[in-house]
Amino acid sequence: MNETNARHIENGVRMVDPAATYIDETVEIAKGVTIYPNAVLEGACVIEAGAYIGPGAHLKDVHVGPNAKIHSYSVLTDAEVGADTNVGPFAYLRGNAVIGKRCRIGSFVEIKKSRVGDDTNAAHLAYIGDATVGCNVNIGCGVITANYDGKTKSRTIINDNAFIGSNVNLIAPVEVGEWGYIAAGSTIYESIPDDSFAIARGKQYTKSDWGKDPRRNAKD
């Protein structure tokens, strides 16, 4: 066990396997933090009391708030995670991503250059880039902020208490008002006022007995 890890353990940090935990001398870790094997902490990291760093997590220049949990194999660079927030597993936060308190940033969620308010959930499979997201917002599975048009990057604003359904595309620049609701599968390119509902889908067509047509399954 190296001197850096030994010093942190003496100060009350719990390392499940110190020999498989990699911590820079520049990292600050409070008493009561738990770190699992193969975690890597680099640069100007600050880990506050009661936090949990899961196996394989990689943090560089990250501030982790009290009792926050960074789950398995999440990668965080230049980010801030608020108290009692859960990140991961397999989440990716980068480029000045600031996450509030009591949030859930779940598996395969990427957040870049964005600020997310308290009590907001993005449970899985979402991309939030160049965005400002308010408090108590629901980000459904498959939501993306389409922030790049090939030349410039534009911002998306999602205000407090909004509900973004699954597989929604938000074409920036665009704003979702407070208590705004977007139906699943919508592509949104016009801003939505407060207390409004938006749905933008193509019409569905269903052809009966199409699967029974022998021509459909014909082989050369």
Annotation says 8 is catalytic: no
Return contacts of 179-186, CB within 8 angstroms, 24+ apart.
184/140
Q: How far is CA 133 from the centre of its chain?
A: 12
Q: What does residue 6 show for φ and ψ, rounded to 5 degrees? A: -60, -40
Q: How far apart are CA 176 and CA 54, in angstroms?
A: 34
Q: How many CB atoms lie within 10 A of CB 212?
A: 8
3 state SS of 124: strand
Q: From the candidates 8, 58, 63, 124, which is the catalytic residue?
A: 124
Is 22 in contact with 4 (CB distance < 8 Å)? no
Q: Which amino acid is at 158?
A: I
> What are the residue ranges of helices labelled H in the chain?
3-10
d(CA 145, CA 187): 10
Core vs surface per residue 37-58: b (16+ CB within 10 A) or e: ebbbbbeebbbbebbbbbbbbb
Q: How many CA atoms lie within 13 A of 188 on its CB side?
A: 34
* Catalytic site positions: 124
